[in-house]
Structure 1
Amino acid sequence: MTEAAPPPPVTLKGMLHGARLITPLIPGSLVFAAAFGTTAAQKGLSVLETMLMSAFMYAGSAQLVALELWRTDVWTGAAILAIATVVFTVNARMILQGASLQPWIYPLPNRVLWPSLALLTDANWLIGTRYHADGGRDAGVLIGAGAALWVVWFAGTLPGRLVGGLVDHPERFGIDLVMPIVFTAMVVPLWKGRQDTICWSVAALAALATASIAPGYMFVVAGGLAGSLTGALLGVLDDRRRRPHG
Structure 2
Amino acid sequence: MSHAPHLQPHHATRAYWARDAIIPGIYAIAPMLPGTLAFGLAFGAQCAQKQFSLAEVEVMMAIVYGGLSQFVAVQSWPDVLTASTIATLALVTTTVNIRFALMSASLQPWFGTLPPWQAYPSMLLVTDGGWLAAMRYREHGGANAWFFVGGGIVLYFAWLLSSIPGYLLAEQLTDPKKYGVDLVMPAFYAAMLVPAWKGARRAIPWGIAGIVALFVHWLVPGYWFIISGAVAGSVSAGVMGDD
Structure 1, unaligned runs of 5 or more = 239-246
1:44 aligns with 2:51: yes
Q: Which amino acid aligns with 1:134?
A: H
Instruction: From the superposition, tell whether residues 125 and 214 of structure 1 become closer, same or farther in structure 2 (CA, over 3 Å).
Output: farther
Q: Which amino acid aligns with 1:155?
A: L
Cα distance, 1:145 vs. partner?
Answer: 2.1
Superimposed CA distance per residue, residues 117-175 of structure 1 (whole angstroms, 9 cap, x where no aligned partner): 11111111111122222332223222222211111111111112223224333433335
Alpha-carbon distance between aligned partners in 2 of 1:84 and 1:224, rounded to the nearest angstrom: 18
In the superposition, the TM-score normalised over structure 2's length comes to 0.84
Superimposed CA distance per residue, residues 51-106 of structure 1 (whole angstroms, 9 cap, x where no aligned partner): 1110111112111111122234x321111111111111111121222222222222
1:201 aligns with 2:207: yes
Alignment of 1:118-197 (within 5 A): 118-177=124-183, 180-181=186-187, 183-193=189-199, 195-197=201-203
Instruction: From the superposition, tell whether residues 203 and 103 of structure 1 become closer, same or farther in structure 2 (CA, over 3 Å).
Output: farther
Choose the corresponding residue for 1:11, options 2, 10, 18: 18
Identity of aligned residues (%): 39
Alignment of 1:64-103 (within 5 A): 64-72=71-79, 74-103=80-109
Superimposed CA distance per residue, residues 195-246 of structure 1 (whole angstroms, 9 cap, x where no aligned partner): 413322322222222222223332222222222222222338x7xxxxxxxx
| Contact preservation (8 Å) 2:173, 2:179 | no
Cα distance, 1:20 vs. partner?
Answer: 1.6
Alpha-carbon distance between aligned partners in 2 of 1:54 and 1:104, rounded to the nearest angstrom: 27
Alpha-carbon distance between aligned partners in 1 of 2:147 and 2:51, rounded to the nearest angstrom: 37
Alignment of 1:194-233 (within 5 A): 195-233=201-239
Task: Give SS of 1:92's match.
Answer: helix
Task: Give the count of matched residue pairs.
Answer: 233
Alpha-carbon distance between aligned partners in 2 of 1:208 and 1:66, rounded to the nearest angstrom: 20
Task: Give SS of 1:221's match.
Answer: helix
| Contact preservation (8 Å) 1:90, 1:218 | no
Runs of 4+ deviating beyond 4 Å = 178-183
Q: Which amino acid aligns with 2:35?
A: G
Structure 2, unaligned runs of 5 or more = 1-11
| Contact preservation (8 Å) 1:8, 1:139 | yes
| Contact preservation (8 Å) 2:39, 2:184 | no
Structure 2 counterpart of 1:243:
none
Alignment of 1:22-61 (within 5 A): 22-61=29-68
Q: Which amino acid aligns with 1:167?
A: L
Structure 1 counterpart of 2:3:
none
In the superposition, the TM-score normalised over structure 1's length comes to 0.83
Alpha-carbon distance between aligned partners in 2 of 1:194 and 1:138, rounded to the nearest angstrom: 32
Alpha-carbon distance between aligned partners in 2 of 1:42 and 1:182, rounded to the nearest angstrom: 23
